[in-house]
Amino acid sequence: MKRAIILVLDSLGLGSSEDAHLYGDQGSDTFGHIIEACDSGKANNSDRSGPLKIPNLLRWGLGEAAIESRGNSLPIQRVKPEGAFGFAKEISAGKDTPSGHWEICGLPVPFEWGTFPKIDNCFPRSLIDELLKQGNIPGTLANKHASGTQVIEEFGDEHIQSGFPICYTSADSVFQIAAHEEHFGLERLYELCKVAKRLVDPLNITRVIARPFVGNSKDGFKRTSNRKDLTTPPNDFTLLDQIQEANGQVISVGKIGDIFSNQGVSYTVKASNNMGLVDQLINEMDKVKDGLIFVNLVDFDTHYGHRRDVPGYALALEKFDKRIPEIESKLIDDDLVLITADHGCDPTWPGSDHTREHVPVVFYGKSIKAQNLGKRETFADMGQTIAQHLKIKPLANGKACELN
């Protein structure tokens, strides 16, 4: 079996999709708006300044993919791509992380996941009552839609004093619980999240996320890398299952294992940030010569998209771009690398939620023909392309891109 690598630049959308108006996202453009902000000086700070500097990603074809998606020019240097480039629209009903990843791997989610209303005390009383009872906790805090960092700042002190975990949600299908690693306990938080997942399953909520943090109000609270996602398993076979059925291995780098509820995953390696995850990718490329290495670079979404931090997002892209030559140096002749995203999270957009956008489809490898792949009608085209490359059974959805 050959080797493939998927790099999900979590939330790097390429412009609002045709149905974005149904989500309140018409006009959103994560990548394009970052480029424009950099070009105008609005993304300058003490860490970076000037136009977005991503020569390697542009060389692979990301810039041309963005121009194809938005249908007009961007203030970037045009270069002749060395990879195959295009963009894809999502046919899944949501704009959440699991739906995006599952569709990339050939399993669109045509139904809508359950969500909680955007009101104070948004969780059903019966849900909270059972969480208190089965989780053996005296109470909860927040119980509303909130940004993860803001809710910790708002309720962190009260949480430490009362022992009440902080429960909150977003526009996504998610129930999140934040708790202090030392005062509440990390394992206790994980156990409480297991209880919560059982309780929200009847509500068709996709994920329960443990959001541990440390620190104090004087010096500031900080979320740690011990996040844990409890996700509803995929309801059918994905690319990951097909690879394992063909006796191949699937290596999860980052939160991929959590997103697929470890279904079809051989093993997982983690790290505390994007650069650590790239380090892990490089390590795995040295060891694993066949199958799939599947990477999610979560900082783009969690640290910069949701927090609406344009300079931070731009700097993170520039830092990742500098690692591209390291990845290239580890490629073997038949390797196929895919750069894509699972949704958008435009840091210039109002609010703090994901945005409904096209995603990049950028394939690179020594044997890949540089070409314009155009618009792909579903994310599943990417998974089907990888299945064809690995010479395994075709997926149920998607049309493979012809790369040679």
Phi/psi for 296 (5° steps) reads: -120, 120
What is the rounded average pLDDT of the residues 222-228? Answer: 92
Neighbours of 53 (CB within 10 A): 17
Tell me the C-alpha distance between 343 and 13, whole Å: 6
> Which of the four pLDDT bands, split at 50, 70 and 90, describes residue 214?
very high
pLDDT digits (tens, 9 = 90+) for 252-277: 999 999 999 999 999 999 999 999 99
Q: Percent of the chain, pLDDT > 70?
A: 100
C-beta separation of 295 from 328 below 8 A = no
What local confidence, expressed as pLDDT, does residue 15 receive? 97
Residue 31 near residue 44, CB atoms below 8 Å: no
pLDDT of residue 301: 96
pLDDT at 46: 97
Give the whole-angstrom CA distance, residue 173 versus residue 354.
Answer: 12
Mean pLDDT within 179-195: 97
Q: Which two tokens stand for residue 396?
A: 């149920």
Asked if residue 108 lies in contact with residue 397, where contact means CB atoms within 8 angstroms, the answer is: yes
Domain positions in the chain are 3-107+234-390, 125-230
Say how many CA atoms lie within 13 Å of 162 toward its Cβ. Answer: 15
Closest CA to 345 of 179, 201, 148: 148
Check residue 341 and give its pLDDT: 98
Residue 219 has pLDDT above 90, yes or no: no
Tokens encoding 73? 């020019």
69-77 average pLDDT score: 92
Residue 326, SS3 per DSSP? helix
Higher pLDDT, 171 or 10: 10
Distance CA 381, CA 374 (A): 12
Query: Could you tell me the two tokens for 376?
Result: 């792909």
Q: Average pLDDT for residues 203-225, to the nearest whole number? A: 94
Q: Do the Cβ atoms of 337 and 363 come closer than 8 Å?
A: yes
Q: Where are the beta strands (DSSP E) in 204-311?
A: 207-216, 220-223, 228-231, 250-253, 267-269, 291-297
Q: What is the pLDDT of residue 266?
A: 98
Question: What residue type is assigned to position 246 of the chain?
Answer: A
Cα 395 from chain centre: 22
Label residue 404 by pLDDT band (50, 70, 90): confident
The span from the CA of 114 to the CA of 208, in Å, is 12
d(CA 37, CA 311): 9
Q: Is the confidence at residue 171, as pLDDT, over 90?
A: no
For residue 217, name the pLDDT band (cuts at 50, 70, 90).
confident
Which H or E run contains 166? Answer: strand 166-169
Residue positions counted in the chain: 404
pLDDT surpassing 90 at residue 330? yes
What top-level class would CATH report for the domain 3-107+234-390?
alpha beta
For residue 363, pLDDT beyond 90: yes
The reported pLDDT for the residue numbered 391 is: 97
* pLDDT value at residue 26: 97
C-alpha 101/C-alpha 79 separation (Å) is 29
What pTM value is reported for the model?
A: 0.93
Tens digit of each residue's pLDDT (9 = 90 or more) over 86-110:
999 999 999 999 999 999 999 999 9
Look at the domain 125-230 and name its fold: Alpha-Beta Plaits (3.30.70)
Answer yes or no: are the C-beta atoms of 169 and 113 closer than 8 Å. Answer: no
Give pLDDT, residue 252: 98
Q: How far apart are CA 301 and CA 297, in angstroms?
A: 8
CA 196 to chain centre: 22
